[in-house]
Structure 1
Amino acid sequence: MNERTPSETSISRAIGERERFGQIVGIFGRHGLRGLASRLGLGGARDEEMETARPEAVVAVLRDLGPVAVKFGQILAMRSDLLGPDWIRALSALQDRVPALPFDRVRPAVEEAIGGPLDSYFASFDHEPIAAASIAQVHAATLPSGERVIVKVRRPGIERTVDADLRLLRRLARTAEKRIPEIARMKPDELLRYFAESLDREMDLSAEGRASDSIGAFLAGLGVRTARFEWELTGRRVNVQGRLEAIPATDLATARERGIDLTKVARTYAQAVLRMIIFNGQFHADPHPGNVLIFPDGSIGFIDFGAVGTLLPRRREELVRLALAIAADDPAGVIDVLMVWAGDPPVDRIRLEFELAALIDEFRNVVLEQVDLARIFNQVFGLLRDFELALPPDLALVLRTLLTAEGFVRRIDPSFDIGGELAPIARQLVSQRTSPARLAREGRKLAAALGRAALSAPELIGQVEKVARTGSLPVSLDPRTIEQLGQRRSSHVRSDPQLLPAALIVAGAILAGTEPLLGLVSGSLAVGLLVFGRVRKS
């Protein structure tokens, strides 16, 4: 057996990467981007400005670099908080379409994955694919039972291509972060980490089945259908799923001709997308019309769960805080949430607060059914770009999903009443947050916190004794926090002497849910300040 040693493998990989770098330099040069290639450390002495990197030229480079670069471009197309409209428009044109593999290459891959010849598992198997993309292609087939299915098969050898190109992308991203300030603020490492995770899920074709089953169980309660997977035939390289027979949502004309109630379709679709995000936490992240089917009774189905988003409870709480701050006309509260999402970078808070106040004021008197999400998001994204505040990738995906959904609903029915759909969701959200089950969970958290506090009691008593003995209380403040407090104070005409005690009372109430002792201390300080203030007045 002639196996390579680890050192031989490393040498071979290094040679392969040098060849690939040479190809990349040639691709950049072919599209007039030698200056950008130089700034990325790909060789050459020229150092042209980034302005020469026209969006169309960069998109052409990504297309020529292959499937991994194309998919990365599609991820960037979702980041309106990072890139301007010209870039988003150009990147959105990237299509993940490649020539289909001939059947004589597909057949061995399927038979190896399912563990036997096609004839043993399928009554028929179409040689021509329904669709072909960079990771997989799809064929129609029939099971021995007569059930019509689709078979998605991963392209042979795609793992090596993906692995090699991901390594190169990471290297280019690290270089770009050091050399190009415009790219550094985009946090390319974080972007690529998120991209690598989503690409890994897409490479595992069984992950689509798990997501379809999991999200489908939630959607079934809303009357929305998803495909049933044949798990005996499904694995990382192949999945087999039942074929939903319905009208593609791309063909609204046929749906109208057949008398289907499209207002019902729009309502069901909007409720499904919103509830997946807000209540389920796991959602179909690409609900464009090509992935939606319309049934004769007006119900809908979702297909292709290759792109799935997850919104953790912490993020959902942050979104609620953001919504409450907007409803309360509190730009400072909105900024606090945005700063948490952006990693608390230095920013001109006074100017940002002014800009946000103007934006909130613009939409204050707009009735819900006239809310244009696309317009609001575009203005918010513009603010984020101006102040160089980047959203976390998971939230960017949520917003992109909402924009996709809103665009589709407006196509179906331009007068669709968004307010009517949001009202029951808001009521259910409030009900859940005050339900006995939630209160019981909070009670268990409180009990656990009391247990932690009891274990920490000796150290806490020691600290209290030290403060009493020395007469000093050590306090540590972040310089940026001091600067922000100064900015906020200067932005108000006068200071309310009751403000600090009130803030401590609120803080105590919040802390009591997770850290009872801290809540007690905060409340005690508030009472002391109120008493002290009254004594001074008298």
Structure 2
Amino acid sequence: MRLTKMLSFAKELRGKKPVDIDKIQSMGLLAVKLGQICALRPDLLDPDRCIQLQELYSRAPTIPQENFEQLLTKYTDENFRSNFKHIDSKPFAAASIGQIHRAELLDGTKVVIKIIKADFEKSFRRDVKRMKRWVKMGLFFNPKLKKVGNPIGLLSHIEDYTLRELNLLNEIKGKQRLEQLAIDYNDKFPMPKLSFPKIWENLSNERVLVIEEITAPTLESHLNAQTMEWDDLLQLFRIHGAFMFGMGVFHGDLHPGNAMMTKDKDFIFIDTGAICEAPNHVRKALFGFFYFLAKGELKNAFDAMLTMADVEPTGETLEIYYSSMFELYDGFVGTSVSEVSLTEQMMKTVRAAVLAGCSFGDDAFPIIRSLMYMDGMVLKGHPNVDLISSMGPYLDEFATLIDPTTLLERTPVAQRKLVGKNRPLITKTAA
């Protein structure tokens, strides 16, 4: 992303005029992905601008019908169309990289066809590389920015999961992986309210995916219609949190447009191309932090976070850490997200922990980002709730997946297993 484009993007976020969604989309895929993250941050941006940015989840430019027909012919074999009674050449939905068309199989089954609209990979990689260069320059000239957050980690995470999404075979692999984990852990942690759409693998490839048509509204639609109750959000946290904290493998882009909720309050996860992993020491430290925090055991919570430190802090460094953390969390438990959002609090927590020697590399960001999405949904739907206290019973339930008696034990740096970034998944698309 060129500097002029980056400044133009920043102007759309902070300007006084209404957000120009079309302009952001014209800036490229990276701008869209960053905009989607900002859409759930009413603590960082004006709430009205966040609402406007949320159009990036569901509103995207479509290609002309004739281009769709050409792409379908290009990306499928000559027998593909013979499997369908009809295919609607006009899309009913579009996203940043693909668009969705209704179709009907020969047996009458209603399906949708997802197709990649263009070759995004080259321009996307170029934009990420440029933006990283600008960010690194900013960090060089203003090192204090390093204490505020991890912008390079954010960009690396966006790059990683977006490149996965560009190959639709990863969506099949991701769905299979999450489904199998749910089966494997069913005795310890049943998740009857979670399901995934059926995918016709024999009709799918890197660029085209044939999926069961889901008519249930997205979480975004429920939030806009105020039909998502507080217990619904807690059930979502129960499911997603079990994958994040208990299993260490989870949906890496679970924004409100990537999950549906049925009239029976069941959740359907879609767009499973970006599956993320968290090393044991990272998920254990973050889980321990929230586990003890919800119980009001502040020192244990702070000590759990320190298990991520490369070198255990002592002396003045440790005293400063405790002092800053106790000050930060004085009265926090029991506070509503509208008063202090979880994301805002986590940014300050990360800063204090980094100064004490904790390492928040790229592998920690997916969990933090997922919590940011959850926090954003709570801010929009139920801003007056105490999220941390409400999480308590579910964190206790996660203890069936991760032994709480080990949460304060440090794993030596040399023994930490840094998971690969889903190496079995495909990150390269065909030319």
Normalized against structure 1, the TM-score is what?
A: 0.58
- Pairing partner for 2:103 from 141, 145, 156: 141
Give yes or no for the alignment of 1:271 onto 2:271: no
**Is the contact between residue 62 and residue 94 of structure 2 (CA under 8 Å) also seen in structure 1?**
yes
1:207 aligns with 2:170: yes
In structure 1, list runs of 5 or more residues that go unmatched: 1-20, 34-51, 439-505, 515-538
Q: Deviations over 1:417-444 (max 9, x none)?
A: 9757643652552575399xx9xxxxxx
1:60, 1:247 → 2: CA distance? 25
Structure 2 gap segments, 5+ residues each:
184-189, 416-431
Deviation at 1:79, TM superposition (A): 11
SS of equivalent to 1:232:
helix
SS in 1 for 2:203: coil
* Pair 1:161 & 2:87 matched: no
Structure 2 counterpart of 1:104:
66
**Equivalence for 1:297:** 264
Amino acid at match of 1:152: K
Deviation string 1:83-114 (CA, Å, 9 cap, x unpaired) is 98249996883736442101211222223322
Q: Equivalent residue for 1:66? A: 27
- Find the aligned partners of 2:252 and 2:4 in 1 and give their Cα distance: 35
Instruction: Provide the C-alpha distance between the structure 2 equivalents of 1:284 and 1:108, rounded to a whole number of angstroms.
Output: 32
The answer (yes or no) to whether the contact 1:68–1:166 under 8 Å persists in 2 is no
* 1:169/1:403 CA distance change after superposition, 3 Å: closer
Answering whether residue 96 of structure 2 is matched by residue 129 of structure 1, we say no
Pick closer, same or farther for the CA change 1:414–1:299 going to 2, 3 Å. Answer: farther
Shift of 1:153: 0.8
**Compared CA separation, residues 412 and 84, structure 1 to 2 (3 A):** closer
1:222 is aligned, of 188, 191, 207, to: 191
Aligned partner of 2:361 in structure 1 is 392
8 Å contact kept, 2:182–2:191: yes
- Post-superposition shift, 1:71? 3.9
Equivalent AA in structure 1 for residue 200 of structure 2: E
Q: CA deviation at 1:413?
A: 11
In 2, the alpha carbon distance for the partners of 1:53 and 1:298 equals 36
Given that residues 138 and 151 in structure 1 are in contact (C-alpha distance below 8 angstroms), is that contact kept between their aligned partners in structure 2? yes
Candidates 371, 390, 394, aligned match of 1:402: 371
Distance (whole Å) between structure 2 residues aligned to residue 255 and residue 53 of structure 1? 26
DSSP-derived class of the 2:96 partner: coil
Partner of 1:333: 303
Out of 92, 112, 136, the residue aligned to residue 150 of structure 1 is: 112
Equivalent residue number for residue 419 of structure 2 = none
Output one character per residue of 1:469-509: Cα deviation in whole Å (capped at 9) or x when no partner: xxxxxxxxxxxxxxxxxxxxxxxxxxxxxxxxxxxxx99x9
Q: Which position in structure 1 is the counterpart of 2:345? A: 379
C-alpha distance in 2, partners of 1:168/1:178?
A: 15
Query: Alignment partner of 2:158: what SS?
Result: helix
Give the Cα separation in 1 of the matches to 2:9 and 2:216.
46
- Whether the 8 Å contact between 1:270 and 1:409 is mirrored in structure 2 is no
Partner of 1:239: 209
C-alpha distance in structure 1 between counterparts of 2:151 and 2:39, whole Å:
14
Q: Which structure carries more relative contact order (alpha carbon 8 Å, separation 6+)? A: 2
Partner of 2:278: 311
What's the secondary structure of 2:298's corresponding residue?
coil
Contact 2:337 2:384 in 1 (8 A): no
Q: Which stretch shows the higher mean deviation, 297-306 or 238-247?
A: 297-306
Which structure has the greater CA radius of gyration?
A: 1
Matching residue's letter, 2:235: T
How far residue 242 of structure 1 moved from its aligned partner, in angstroms, is: 0.7
Whichever structure has more helix as a proportion of its residues is 1
CA shift, 1:232, in A, is: 1.0
Q: Distance in 1 between matches of 2:153 and 2:377?
A: 30
Partner of 1:281: 248
Q: Do structure 1's residue 85 and structure 2's residue 44 form an aligned pair?
A: yes
Q: Count matched residues.
A: 388
Determine helix, strand or coil for the equivalent of 1:140.
strand
Q: CA RMSD in A?
A: 4.8
1:353 correspondence with 2:322: yes
Distance 2:13 2:93 in 1: 31
2: CA distance, partners of 1:434 / 1:379: 23
Cross-structure match for 2:158: 195
Which amino acid in the other structure matches residue 63 of structure 1?
I
Q: Take 1:54 and 1:287, find their aligned partners in 2: how far apart are those partners?
A: 22
Cα distance in 1 for partners of 2:12, 2:260 equals 40
Cα distance in 2 between the residues matched to 1:26 and 1:413: 36
Distance change (3 Å), C-alpha of 1:64 and 1:56: farther
SS in 1 for 2:265: coil
CA contact (8 A) 1:178 1:184 kept: no
What SS does the corresponding residue of 2:257 show, helix, strand or coil? helix
Shift of 1:297: 3.1
Give 1:337 shift.
4.4
Counterpart in the other structure of 1:47? none
**Structure 2 length normalisation: TM-score?**
0.70
CA positional deviation for 1:227:
0.5
Contact 2:258 2:271 in 1 (8 A): yes
Could you tell me how far apart the structure 1 residues matched to 2:411 and 2:3 are? 56
Q: Which amino acid aligns with 2:327?
A: A
State the 1:309 CA deviation.
3.1
Q: Secondary structure at the match of 2:100?
A: strand
What secondary structure sits across from 1:272 in the alignment? Answer: helix
